[in-house]
């Protein structure tokens, strides 16, 4: 009886040690990946639109996976989930082995035929939503981002829209590279620490506080829009035959 009890005790201790070692290894891996993810965020922010990838940023984008469809673009990602593509579709994430969630940070880039960057995107996800990544920032040259008659949301901040997906509440940011630098800074003010913490990210405001604040709906914004833009937009639509261009 004592021999069997001793064997079970050793098995229990061995199993507990395996769990502890696994937890520590995953935590260390997540910490290292967090550093890589921060560098990727910075590289996406600095990547110019309308030009090739600069030499000083090639290191962060050396392993781009590209598809022929420019609408999908090329991508590279960093995740704390080892050996599994966090952004694979359909996504089936394994059970958590630590108290923090699995997370991934992705850069998406589309090029023209000359190798110049058409648009760039930053995606940050902690697996909260099935349909949408938690946070996405898309940067491209788009004249409608400076035309409140096309997109009324830019009336407050020309070249910049922060909104929330209707079904999931995910944070979506559209940004022009020609927007004011203050708005670019707000779009890329992302804080990844909560992804790798035991507490986790309680709201998307923990990840992107400025953009999350800007995405809040305020009814008075509609009123201000109509007061300032109803007449010039009506004239613009009349010139186009009574229809918006999109």
pLDDT of 242 above 70: no
Token pair of 36 as six digits: 């890589």
- Residue found under tokens 């704390």: 80
pLDDT of 3 above 70: no
How far are the Cα atoms of 30, 172, 207 from residue 217, in angstroms, in the given order? 34, 13, 19
Per-residue confidence band for 234, with pLDDT thresholds at 50, 70 and 90 = confident
Token pair of 222 as six digits: 């509609």
Residues 96-148: pLDDT tens digits? Answer: 766 778 899 999 999 988 989 999 999 999 887 767 899 999 999 999 999 88
What integer pLDDT is reported at residue 221 of this predicted model?
A: 65
Residue 172 three-state SS:
strand
In the chain, where are the structural domains located? 2-239
What integer pLDDT is reported at residue 2 of this predicted model?
A: 62
pLDDT of 41 above 80: yes
Task: Show the 3-state SS of 114-158.
Answer: CCCEEEEEEEEECCCCCCCCCEEEEEECCHHHHCCCCCHHHHCCC
Instruction: Please give the mean pLDDT across all residues of the chain.
Output: 84
Closest CA to 78 of 128, 42, 50: 42
What integer pLDDT is reported at residue 154 of this predicted model?
A: 81
């Amino acid at each position: 009886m004592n021999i069997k009890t001793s064997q079970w005790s050793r098995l229990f201790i061995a199993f507990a040690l395996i769990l502890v070692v696994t937890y520590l290894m995953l935590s260390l891996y997540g910490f290292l990946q967090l550093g890589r993810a921060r560098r990727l965020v910075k590289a996406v922010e600095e990547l110019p639109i309308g030009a090739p990838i600069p030499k000083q940023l090639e290191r962060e984008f050396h392993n781009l996976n590209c598809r022929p469809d420019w609408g999908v673009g090329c991508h590279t990602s960093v995740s704390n989930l080892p050996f599994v593509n966090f952004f694979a579709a359909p996504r089936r994430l394994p059970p958590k082995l630590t108290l923090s969630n699995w997370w991934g940070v992705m850069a998406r880039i589309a090029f023209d035929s000359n190798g110049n960057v058409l648009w760039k995107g930053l995606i940050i996800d902690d697996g909260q939503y099935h349909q949408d990544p938690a946070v996405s920032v898309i940067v491209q040259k788009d004249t409608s981002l400076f035309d409140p008659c096309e997109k009324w949301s830019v009336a407050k901040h020309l070249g910049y829209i922060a909104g929330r997906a209707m079904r999931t509440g995910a944070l979506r940011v559209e940004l022009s590279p020609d927007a004011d630098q203050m708005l670019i800074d707000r779009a890329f003010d992302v804080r990844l620490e909560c992804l790798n913490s035991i507490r986790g990210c309680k709201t998307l405001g923990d990840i992107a506080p400025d953009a999350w604040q800007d995405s809040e709906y305020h009814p008075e914004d509609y009123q201000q829009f109509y007061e300032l833009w109803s007449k010039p937009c009506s004239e613009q639509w009349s010139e186009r035959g009574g229809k918006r261009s999109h």
